Amino acid sequence: DTEVTQTPKHLVMGMTNKKSLKCEQHMGHRAMYWYKQKAKKPPELMFVYSYEKLSINESVPSRFSPECPNSSLLNLHLHALQPEDSALYLCASSSGANVLTFGAGSRLTVL
């Protein structure tokens, strides 16, 4: 298995909702990432988990809460989001100081 799987592919939520994005990989990668990408912009790093521990938080607002239950899973919990948070959320994994493999992304719309 050489893929990173993200669910859901599309999510529409209101500003008072609580939802979660999920990411899974079975490549034995020990680093997992969340990136946010707005239209016609490059991916922006949000969080990095290394060996299931949060190693980088790029000053992301607390309404985004990452969780790494085990080495294969990465979640992004969403609460009280704003319309400007609408974007493509990309999960990626890597074996360390090496190539990142991206999932297809979860397209989030906040109403």
DSSP conformational letter for 59 = S
Site string for other proteins, 56-85 (x = CB under 8 A): x-----------------------------
Is 45 one of the binding residues for other proteins (CB under 8 A)? yes
How far is 70 from 16, CA to CA, in rounded Å? 28
> For other proteins, which residue of 11, 21, 23, 31 counts as binding (CB under 8 A)?
31
Check binding of 90 to other proteins (CB under 8 A).
Answer: yes
Interface residue with other proteins, options 11, 21, 25, 33 (CB under 8 A): 33
48 binds other proteins (CB under 8 A): yes
Can you tell me the distance from the alpha carbon of 110 to that of 18, in angstroms, rounded to the nearest whole number? 11
Three-state SS letters, 18-57: EEEEEEEECCCCCEEEEEEECCCCCCEEEEEEECCEEEEE
Whether 60 and 48 have beta carbons less than 8 Å apart is answered as no
Choose the stretch contacting other proteins; rule: CB under 8 A; options: 15-23, 60-68, 70-78, 99-107.
99-107
| # of chain residues touching other proteins (CB under 8 A) | 23
